[in-house]
Amino acid sequence: MKFFGKIVLIVLAASAAPLGVAWAQYPICWTSITPPNDTLHLFVNPDSVMIDTCSGSSTFHHRYAAKWFRIEFQKVIFYIPSSSNIDTIIDRGWRDIDTNQIIMRAAFDSVEVHFGSFVLQKAFPGAGDTTTLFNLLQSQIFLLKFNNYVDIDSAQAMLKTIPSVNAYYQNRAVGASWVPSDLGMVPQTDISEIQLANPDSFFKKFYHKIVGVGVYIK
């Protein structure tokens, strides 16, 4: 009977574990999101977004990352004075939210239970709380970073359910955009010839690169 009790405790403990994946423990068949044959290194992935390529996986082609999820509070939650240094890093935790915000605190607590611990970093350190409306709104924008990899879509979906919060994943995995030049925009041109594409997949003289513009991975 005691042995059975130990089994039950182990199962319950496993079911309560966070859905996040520790940095050093992600499956070997996860790969960094990078286009094939990117010999010119035009693609950047500063947040090390990973994709599940495990054969037979129930999360095949799901994307994983730890940062950054943009959190826009729709009311004043954090009273943080503006910083004269825009590079200042200002971190807060959900436990720093006023205890009067019962529902919001409970929602962030659920996120932590499901995906693991995280920090909220002020997106605009120079934004104050009591100057202009623009600064007021900016002062309530934070970037959320988990301490481990999480399923981007699952985490984003849960964050979106938090009341008085606008949340979404701020994707920075990006490649250079190539768009048709005027020479390529001729009558009867097939649509396949004018779509955004990898530079190696079209007749280059009809295209030009737009510096600083990116195609975001969806």
Q: Which amino acid is at 56?
A: G
- The answer to whether 159 touches 111, Cβ cutoff 8 Å, is yes
Q: Read off the pTM.
A: 0.70
What is the rounded (10 degree) CA torsion for 33, 38, 43, 49? 10
pLDDT tens per residue, the chain (218 residues)?
443 343 333 233 333 334 666 655 677 888 888 766 666 666 778 888 999 988 888 998 899 999 999 999 999 999 888 888 888 999 999 999 999 999 999 999 999 999 999 999 999 998 876 668 888 888 999 999 999 999 999 999 999 999 999 999 988 877 655 444 444 445 555 555 544 444 443 333 333 343 333 333 33
Q: Which amino acid is at 5?
A: G
- The answer to whether 129 touches 136, Cβ cutoff 8 Å, is yes
